Amino acid sequence: MRAGRGNGYVEFVAAGGEAKDSVAQGPSWREMIFARQLLHVLGRTDEMPREDRLSVLMPIIEQAAQRWCDAWVEAPDSDTGRELAPLCRALNAALVTALKRRKRIDPDSRSRLHVFLTQADAAIVARADVDASAPWPGGIPRLKFPRGAPSRSTLKLEEAFLVLLDDAERARWLQPGMSAVDLGAAPGGWTWQLVRRSIRTIAIDNGPIDAALMDSGLVEHRRVDGFRFRPSRPVDWLVCDMVEQPRRIAELVARWLAERLCRRAIFNLKLPMKKRYDEVQLCLAIVRDALGADADLRAKQLYHDREEVTVFAAAERMR
């Protein structure tokens, strides 16, 4: 494993220095908690002339001898990477034009070309399996704060739905008329995401809920303790963004799922400053022990959750 403080990326070197033949043989990006994207390195260069970077990049790309569904030029999510954004856009356009000229773009290909700029004159050339990689540059869904949402926390749940669920799951599990409970709801950022999908929601919080949400007719506000509340009947969703020790949240959600009070849950774990991976694994184990081997658990540190890990949990995997 190679990483530098503040780099914004990590390189994994397989035993003997030999990487797997295909990223399809490795994990999916959805399985990695702290990584947003998964790429297989083809080559690298530290000597790109600024007047003609493609003259160095294209020979590396041609060695792969394959066609690509698309090509992305990216930079790490870091201070250095943000400074490279204009260069990424310009080089991306030139690269796609060059690939089309060489007939290397094929919309049916399941491989995508990535040029990852680490400096203005240095790059890693990589490929991604479309089925095992994030569908956004940098693995970051660029979301706009929706007009009418009562807080920016709404983006956390929107991103969670995009990252933790696939298209088919969102279509099946986020249908109008479903029911939900939002623990720690005030002022209603997560409730807003449910209401926009016409999901009836019980908002649990001693604080006030946004007036427009209450006027929607889809929200019932209960000023009670989120750790003590139980619904009178099972709901489709439990969502929880309460500020509390992560183990307490994991135990709470595990009880809801084990007692069949909800079918699925999305919740945030507010991570400690140290041993974050260990804490996440402990919390996932709490839920897994309560639900058994059939539990469906997915965890991700989202772009809009820099100090947290967001978890999807269901008592059973869909067959």
CB under 8 Å to 292, separation ≥6 — which residues?
Answer: none
CA distances from 14 to 19, 30, 40, 260, 276 (A): 5, 20, 11, 42, 24
Helix (H, G, I), strand (E, B), or coil: what is residue 174?
coil
270 labelled catalytic = yes
Cα–Cα nearest to 116, from 189, 243, 9: 9
56/44 Cα distance (integer angstroms):
10
Cβ 148 vs Cβ 52: under 8 Å: no
Q: Cα(89)–Cα(210) distance, rounded to whole angstroms?
A: 39
Which residue, 161, 167, 149, 155, is CA-closest to 210?
A: 149
Backbone phi and psi for residue 247, each to the nearest 5 degrees, phi listed first: -65, -35
Length of the chain in terms of residues written: 319
Among residues 156, 270, 274, 300, the one annotated as catalytic is 270
Residue 128's closest CA among 234, 203, 35?
35
State how far the Cα of 128 lies from the Cα of 111, in Å rounded to an integer: 6
Bridge-based pairing of strands 219-222 and 235-240 is: unpaired
With CA atoms as reference, report the closest residue to 189 among 241, 230, 244, 143: 241
Token readout for 2 is 């190679």
Q: Which amino acid does the sequence have at 234?
A: P
Residues recognised as catalytic? 270
